[in-house]
Amino acid sequence: MPNSKKIILIENQYSQFKQIYQHLIQAGFTVYPSDKLEDFKNFIDIIKIFLNKRYGGIEEGSRRSIVFNEILNIIKNNFKPSLFIIDYILIGHHEGQTGIYLGQMLRKSKITEPILFLSKAARNNNDILFNLGKELEPRDWCDKGYAGEDILDEEYFTNHVLVKINEMIKKVDDHYFNIINGILNSGKFDFDDNIKVEALSYLKNIVVTGIISDHEKSVLDKQDLDTEESRKKFFNLLKSKQ
Angle at 21 between CA 19 and CA 22, to 5 degrees: 65
pLDDT tens for the chain, 242 residues: list them.
345 789 999 999 999 999 999 999 999 999 999 999 999 999 999 999 999 998 989 998 899 999 999 999 999 988 989 999 999 989 877 778 999 999 999 999 999 899 999 887 665 466 666 777 788 888 998 888 776 778 888 898 999 899 999 999 888 877 777 776 676 666 655 555 555 566 666 666 666 665 556 655 665 665 555 666 766 666 665 555 44
Strands annotated E in the chain:
6-10, 30-32, 83-87, 115-119, 139-143
Report whether 84 contacts 103 (CB < 8 A). yes
Phi, psi dihedrals of residue 80, rounded to the nearest 5°:
50, 75
What is the CATH number assigned to the segment(s) 6-152? 3.40.50.2300
pLDDT of residue 2: 47
Phi, psi dihedrals of residue 204, rounded to the nearest 5°:
-60, -40
Residue type (1 letter), 149: E
3-state secondary structure of 62: coil
The whole-angstrom separation of Cα 66 and Cα 58 is 9
pLDDT of residue 93: 73
pLDDT of residue 228: 66
pLDDT of residue 241: 44
pLDDT of residue 239: 56
Comma-separated ranges of CATH 3.40.50.2300 domains in the chain: 6-152
Residues 6+ apart with CB under 8 A from 95: 52, 53, 54
Tell me the whole-structure pTM to 2 decimals.
0.79
Residues 6+ apart with CB under 8 A from 240: none
The whole-angstrom separation of Cα 168 and Cα 216 is 20
pLDDT of residue 203: 64
